[in-house]
Structure formats: C-alpha cells, structure tokens
Amino acid sequence: MIRRGYISITETLLVTGVLTIACTPPGAGTTETGSSPDTDGTPGESSGAAGSDGGADGSGGGGPGEGGGPAGDGLPCDVDAILAASCRSCHGVTPLGNMISLLSRADLLADSPTVPNATIGQRAVSRMQDATTPMPPAPALPVAESDIAVVADWVAAGMPAGDCTTDPAPSPFDAESMCTSNRMWQGCGESDRMKPGEACIDCHNNGDNSGDCEDDNGPFFLLAGTVYPTGHEPDSCYGFAGAVVEVTDASRQTLKLSTNEAGNFYLEAEDAPPGFAAPYYVKVVYDGKELAMATEVTDGDCNTCHTADGDQDAPGRIVLPWQ
C-alpha cells in the first residue's frame, strides 16, 4: 500500500554508520557502534520474461499508460493480489511496450481492443486458462487454479466494485484525547521515565526546573521526546514502550533510540557520535512499519511541537506508524 504524505527521507540517504543506543538510565553506558553499511536492497526491478513477443494476435492495444486508476482501485483484495503477483510486472503502471494495464477495476471493465465483445477482465481469465498461449507467458509459472477461479468468479459476477484501497487503518490523530496506558508519571526528577509528553530539553538544558524538583539541571540532551499510541495524549501520561526512533543527522549517521517504559527516548550529548548535529531526519519504526516526519527538523526537543494538541503545525503527539 502506498502511503502518501510522509516520505521516508532517510531511505534516500547514504547511511555511513549505524549506532545503537538503548534508552537505559544514563551511566549504564550502552552505546555501541556498529559498522554495518545499511544494505538497502536496490528496488527490485522486475526484468519480465525474455522476449515474450510471440503473441497470437498481434500486440494488444489499449495504449501504454492508459490506466484506469491506481493499482488496486475498485478491485477486491484477493483479485488485486493475484494480478499484482502474476501480471503487473508486464501489465503495470508502465506496461511493457504497447500493452494493456491490469491495475484497476476500470482497466478490467474496458473493452478488449483486439477481441470483439469481450472485456479485458474476460480476456484476462481466458488467457490465464489458455493452454497454448497462457498468461503469464512461459517460462513463468501458471497461475494456480484456485486463484484463476477467484478471478473468474469475480468476472462472471460482473466485476462488482471492491474496496481494497479504501479501508485504511484509522488515523491515531482522529482519536479523542486519552491516556492509553492509563499510567501517569508522578513525583519529580531523577528518572528516565519522568514527565512523558513534556518538553524535556527546554527544562534540562535551560535549567528551568519549575521549582517542583531538584535544582540541578537534567543531563544535556541533543534529542528527546515521547512516542504515543494515539495522537492527543495528555502530559505526564506514559507513552509506548519498545518503539524505535531512527534519527539521521546532517552527516548521514543514523542512531536508533528505543522508547522506554514511559514511551520516552533521548540522546545525551555525551553519548552521541562525534559531529552528530542537526538537521535531523526522523522516523518512528515499529512492527515492520515506519512513520517519518516529512520535513527535516533542527530542534531536537520533539515534544515542544508534538504536544497533545500539536504546536507549530505538528499534528499532535509523535505516534506509532499505523498503516
């Protein structure tokens, strides 16, 4: 599924060094440098099947790129998955040569440019069942019979609209303000779980101790904040433990900061690699998904903008990736 709006800037960066910092109490010295060069796989470019030009009835018409909508649009998810797996390497967004697209329901409802009185959907089924000139063409494996049946049944039913693209997970920013963890920080000072949701650096680095705790400043942080399950959780509410905040700095070094029991993460200046500096590119990674801040950020005091209501155009809290 393509997520618009949030682009993963860090993926386009050349990451030269990776350092992992777990959020354990300072003093435990858990900084470890890794040297793994981020082996970002190059986007798998499908090479298609070699020279599949032995088409029976000439090149199918339809016009290159004459798509009827984005991939999956209007299709049931099972049909969409089959076309994605077996067909779109050739009949995709930029179809090979002068070929039809098999992206959306509109594509499949269209009349076949080569076979009279047939829709593309009907032709797709016929060609999957065709023993002499099958789709996908040899040497690709034929589509499983059960999968062909899924597409055939849907076409026979008149290709009713499905909603594979239209059931996105609910946005955590639509949730009411609540404290999901149902746990509030109480008391003062001396803990990495302190004051979740509040602007850590503003207090730590500026010596604004608000009179309620000890007089010392807290440790000097380059970055700090709190990750929450939903978008508008109140100050002092414990956030989400076990998410990872990935921060790539101006010199393309990436740090991974884990959130602790209170959802807090932070980077002490003395634990940062040499030269680690703003602007930062940030994203939250959890459960195989990620959510990036689309713009770079120079202020490492994340919660100044990521308040319960959101300040300076932030949508609210820093949240877990949800789609």
Q: Which of residues 93-152 bind ligand HEC (CB under 6 A)?
A: 99-100, 102, 112, 114-115, 120, 123-124, 127-128, 133, 135-137, 140, 143
Q: What is d(CA 89, CA 237) in angstroms, rounded to the nearest whole number?
A: 48
In b/e form, how buried is each residue of 201-230, taking b as 16+ CB within 10 angstroms?
Answer: bebbbeeebeeeeeeeebbebbbbbbbbbb
Output the smallest distance, CB 293 to ligand HEC, in A. 3
Among 17, 69, 219, 273, binds ligand HEC (CB under 6 A): 219
**Residue where the block lists tokens 């509109």:** 106
Give the nearest residue (CB) to ligand HEC. 55
Output the smallest distance, CB 183 to ligand HEC, in A. 14
Q: Say how far residue 278 (Cα) sits from the centre of its chain.
A: 23
Q: Does 290 bind ligand HEC (CB under 6 A)?
A: no
Long-range (24+ apart) CB contacts under 8 A made by 151-160 are 151/79, 151/82, 151/83, 151/121, 151/124, 151/125, 152/125, 154/76, 154/79, 155/108, 155/119, 155/121, 155/122, 155/124, 155/125, 159/105, 159/108, 159/109, 159/119, 159/121, 160/76
Nearer to ligand HEC, 162 or 218 (CB): 218
Q: Does 68 bind ligand HEC (CB under 6 A)?
A: no
Q: Is 290 helix (H, G, I), strand (E, B) or coil?
A: strand
Among 238, 266, 276, 322, binds ligand HEC (CB under 6 A): 266
Output the smallest distance, CB 240 to ligand HEC, in A. 11
Strands 221-228 and 318-319: parallel
Q: Which of residues 232-251 bind ligand HEC (CB under 6 A)?
A: 245
Among 73, 80, 107, 198, binds ligand HEC (CB under 6 A): 198
Output the smallest distance, CB 83 to ligand HEC, in A. 6
Task: Using CB atoms within 10 Å of the CB of residue 124, give its burial: 0 to 12 exposed, 13 to 18 middle, 19+ buried.
Answer: buried
Pick from 300, 207, 217: nearest CA to 257: 300
Q: Which of residues 5-24 bind ligand HEC (CB under 6 A)?
A: none
Q: Does 291 bind ligand HEC (CB under 6 A)?
A: yes
Q: How many CB atoms lie within 10 A of CB 14?
A: 9
Q: Does 304 bind ligand HEC (CB under 6 A)?
A: yes
Nearer to ligand HEC, 179 or 302 (CB): 302
Nearer to ligand HEC, 34 or 279 (CB): 279
Contact criterion met (CB below 8 Å) for 317 and 231: yes
Q: Does 191 bind ligand HEC (CB under 6 A)?
A: yes
Nearer to ligand HEC, 154 or 266 (CB): 266
Q: By CB under 6 A, how many residues form the interface with ligand HEC?
A: 78
Q: How many CB atoms lie within 10 A of CB 164?
A: 19
Q: Which of residues 48-67 bind ligand HEC (CB under 6 A)?
A: 48-49, 52, 55-56, 59-60
Q: Does 204 bind ligand HEC (CB under 6 A)?
A: yes
What residue type is assigned to position 295 of the chain? T
Q: Does 222 bind ligand HEC (CB under 6 A)?
A: no
Among 144, 287, 294, 309, binds ligand HEC (CB under 6 A): 294
- Helix, strand, coil percentages (3-state) for the chain, rounded to 5, are 15, 15, 65
Output the smallest distance, CB 17 to ligand HEC, in A. 19
